[in-house]
Chains A and B, each alone.
Chain A
Amino acid sequence: MTAELGQLALIFALLMAAVQAFFPLAGAALRLPAWVAVARPAARAQALFLAVSFYCLVQSFVVNDFSVRYVAEHSNSALPLFYRIAAAWGAHEGSVLLWALILGLWTAAVSLFNRALSEIFTARVLGVLGLVSVGILAFILFTSNPFDRLLPAPPDGNDLNPLLQDFGLAVHPPMLYMGYVGMAVPFAFAIAALMSGTLDIAWARWSRPWTLVAWSFLTLGITLGSWWAYYELGWGGWWFWDPVENASFMPWLMATALIHSLAVTEKRGAFKVWTVLLAIFAFSLSLLGMFLVRSGVLVSVHAFANDPERGLFILAFLGLVIGASLLLYAIRAPAVKDHARFHWFSREALLLVNNVLLVVAAASVLLGTLYPLVLDALGLGKISVGPPYFGSVFAPVTAPLFLLAGIGPLVAWRRDDPARLWRQVRWLVPISLTAAAVIAALWFRVGDLVTLAFLATAFWLGATALLPWWQRLRRREGWRGLRQPAGFYGMTLAHFGLAVFLVGVGVSNHYSVERTVRLAPGDSAELGGYRFLFQGVRAFDGPNYGADEGIFEVYRDGERVAVLRPQKRFYRVQRNVMTEAAIDPGLRRDLYVALGEPLEGDAWSVRLYVKPAVRWIWLGGLLMMAGGLLAAADRRYRTARATAAVPVSVNATA
């Protein structure tokens, strides 16, 4: 019964999405207030139906209803409750439903909070979001229905992929989808603005908080994914340039460009057309990622089950949504007037450079990700594009970005004096370099140029991020100087997070050490100043798996600093062997042990890592996310709602 209810709610949601798309858009075009007024209630109703539908799916998992095919294929009665719930989005069908639900929630949020803009503009935004919903819900109902029955019902289910039975991966998809799908909101704002014809700056202002929140979730989602890959895939890396990772990274880069470009559009009325294009690109890359992950055109560690039929559907959807948007852009953009002027040395100019660099970076990732596919499609052979390629192309493109991110916020709008800026920051250059050298020398004893460059860049970014605060403190003689809008705090925090991230990347990439050794109980191995003492292996019994659990005591200077218990698990239902690494985390270093194979006697092959500062990578990601949320919480986006400003003209430019 529950499954049928879920199915029914899904169908209602599709109908409601169609209503939400048709009436407001048609009403806005034909000036029919009654039709325009449909937008908000329809959006909320659609979200409600989706919530019911999703609840029904989760409930089917909770009560182990194996007559539902999707449940039977991805759950098991021995699976702990938490993972049974998470299994609802553990595979293709359920995860698209989650995607749709999150889109519904974003839409409902827009209908609730977007009071500042005219009814017609809001109706258009909701209408565009409704169109996207229609596509996704049709996709679910026609190609990926999670409520299909399996009769006769099997006595028990196939269990969830053991890789996914993990806290990090249970929470990673919802966060990531909040980001991916959230990009639909600035996209809808941009399309609505194009439909209205006049790209006044109100849409830029009001799509900023949405973009920031979506970007923050995307940042969090990617950070969680990287953290999960680090501890769960069992080989200590944190980023593999896998197509699926790239699929999340490209929209992130584009959204980062969008955040910065929106600032220029809002503050100075410049780059309007460009900002609209970025909003379209950011969402396009979200959808492209969905296509890459779910169609099977690329081979990836993380890909879903492949199905060309689904691929074709998403491709058609992608073509319609993005094609129509770009067509609308081509029609409307030429008429947009953009008079803002600025000097070559100004905040605008630097943000333009920022945008170009970020877009080139995203394009490079896109090129590397799709190149094997393109060559193959043209019959020019098969190649692989992996980490060595991205490493050598991505670094030179992004290096100037990091350096400019330091001075960008210090430069005035319209026009500034390079000499003035130089006076301000010149002492930061030697300080950054010296600090980097000292840290490298003290902390790691050996120095090399690449790491030094990473550290110096990080110090530069950190110092320049804090400089305005320091100056305000001095100039205004007191804490009052610190009373700045949340947006400014957010930006500082995010740039500071970038610095922290760079420290993590530079240090952990270069100073990590690893060793594969054969250890019998009582043996120990030295690595990076630590002694790993192997105490032996004992049997461990989990809820749906059995495991060999190794016990390692780690000593430094004769003192025990950690006991690590890596496991080698055997999942009974899926008959899968998995290594579960054990980690002693720390800001200074991670100690990481993975159990290999049993060798002759009681000995095991074991891989040991010492990874300095690796945690800073994710700490940086979290700081960036917090910065984004803080900026979104700026009072301007709330107080101005009461004064309900800027009406948006519905007249197209003549």
Chain B
Amino acid sequence: MLKYLLPLGLFAALLILLGIGLTLNPREVPSPLVGRPAPTFTLPRLDDPETPFDSAEQLRGRVSLFNVWASWCVACRQEHPFLMQLARQGVTIYGLDYKDTREAGLRWIERLGNPYRAVAFDAAGKVAIDWGVYGVPETFVIDKQGVIRYKHIGPITPKDWEEKLGPLVDYLEKQP
């Protein structure tokens, strides 16, 4: 009897896995960089080509968000107001303007407001490759030691912040 129940058992297991599969997003690829020191780079700042954005210096000593965005990205526009709100709450946000033109990037900041402490300008998208960016917007949470602790793919919504990013940032703030 048991061997005749085997197909049913296997099928039930498959069904459960498929059910779990329905709740997952197949497009979200976890980053191998989480838990590792953030890749270092030096790029010109968006607002001033002469001033360098030195990641080793900036992304260290305090908990920060590193937000990859672009003026041509529709989802970034949707995310932007919430970033403004976070900045007002005192969250440190750095930006990486990805494969953009300087004028378009600056116009965006001017028109929609600037939530960023500083924005690095990555016209060629090379730094973004080092960070494993595959779609904008993406946001990395970086701790005081400059280690990447989390990567959020897609626009941050208030719900994401409440459930995942906010608590993590609070926790990291309390660490030495």
User: Which residue numbers of A lie inside 8 Å of B, CB to CB?
Assistant: 277, 280, 284, 291, 295-299, 308, 311-312, 315, 318-319, 322-323, 326-327, 329-330, 333-334, 370, 372-374, 376-378, 381-382
Q: Nearest-CB distance from A272 to chain B (Å)?
A: 13
B90 at the interface (CB under 8 A from A): no
Residues of B within 8 A of A322 (CB): 11
Closest 10 CB pairs of A and B: A377-B20, A326-B8, A297-B21, A330-B4, A373-B21, A330-B5, A299-B26, A333-B4, A311-B22, A326-B7
Q: Which of B1-36 contact A (CB under 8 A)?
A: 1, 4-5, 7-8, 11-12, 14-15, 17-24, 26-27, 29-30
Q: Nearest-CB distance from B33 to chain A (Å)?
A: 14
Contact B26 A297 (CB under 8 A): yes
Contact A370 B8 (CB under 8 A): no
Contact A323 B11 (CB under 8 A): yes
Tell me, in angstroms, the Cα distance from A595 to B22 when the chains sit together.
39
Q: Nearest-CB distance from B10 to chain A (Å)?
A: 9
Q: Nearest-CB distance from A254 to chain B (Å)?
A: 13
Contact of A296 among B5, B19, B20, B26 (CB under 8 A): B26
6 more contacts with CB within 8 A, not counting A329-B8, A373-B21, A374-B21, are: A296-B26, A318-B15, A319-B15, A370-B14, A376-B21, A381-B30
A-B contact count (CB 8 A): 66
Tell me, in angstroms, the Cα distance from A323 to B11 when the chains sit together.
7
Main secondary structure of the interface of B (DSSP, over half): helix
Q: Which residue of A lies closest to B16 (CB)?
A: A377
Q: Which of B77-131 contact A (CB under 8 A)?
A: none
Tell me, in angstroms, the Cα distance from A318 to B26 when the chains sit together.
21
Main secondary structure of the interface of A (DSSP, over half): helix
Residues of B within 8 A of A284 (CB): 11
User: Which residue numbers of B lie inside 8 Å of A, CB to CB?
Assistant: 1, 4-5, 7-8, 11-12, 14-15, 17-24, 26-27, 29-30
Tell me, in angstroms, the Cα distance from A291 to B18 when the chains sit together.
9
Contact of B26 among A298, A312, A326, A333 (CB under 8 A): A298
Contact B4 A334 (CB under 8 A): yes
- Decide: A376 near B11, CB < 8 A? Known: A297-B18, A370-B17, A382-B29: no
Contact B4 A373 (CB under 8 A): no
Tell me, in angstroms, the Cα distance from A284 to B7 when the chains sit together.
12
Contact A376 B24 (CB under 8 A): yes
Residues of A within 8 A of B15 (CB): 315, 318-319, 323
Tell me, in angstroms, the Cα distance from A319 to B15 when the chains sit together.
7
Residues of B within 8 A of A299 (CB): 26-27
Q: Which residue of A lies closest to B27 (CB)?
A: A299
Residues of B within 8 A of A277 (CB): 7
Q: List 28 A-B contacts (CB under 8 A).
A: A277-B7, A291-B18, A295-B22, A297-B18, A297-B24, A298-B26, A299-B27, A311-B22, A312-B19, A315-B22, A323-B8, A323-B11, A323-B12, A323-B15, A326-B7, A326-B8, A330-B7, A333-B4, A370-B14, A373-B21, A373-B26, A374-B17, A376-B21, A376-B24, A377-B24, A378-B17, A381-B30, A382-B29
Contact of A312 among B12, B17, B22, B29 (CB under 8 A): B22
Tell me, in angstroms, the Cα distance from A327 to B29 when the chains sit together.
38
Q: Which residue of A lies closest to B18 (CB)?
A: A315
Q: Nearest-CB distance from A330 to chain B (Å)?
A: 4
Residues of B within 8 A of A330 (CB): 1, 4-5, 7-8
Contact A373 B18 (CB under 8 A): yes
Residues of B within 8 A of A319 (CB): 15
Q: Nearest-CB distance from B11 to chain A (Å)?
A: 6
Tell me, in angstroms, the Cα distance from A319 to B23 when the chains sit together.
17
Q: Nearest-CB distance from A624 to chain B (Å)?
A: 28
Q: Nearest-CB distance from B25 to chain A (Å)?
A: 9
Residues of B within 8 A of A280 (CB): 7
Residues of A within 8 A of B12 (CB): 323
Contact A308 B29 (CB under 8 A): no
Tell me, in angstroms, the Cα distance from A373 to B27 when the chains sit together.
11
Q: Which residue of B lies closest to A333 (CB)?
A: B4
Contact B18 A329 (CB under 8 A): no
Q: Which of A308, A377, A382 has the most CB of B within 10 A?
A: A377
Contact A315 B30 (CB under 8 A): no
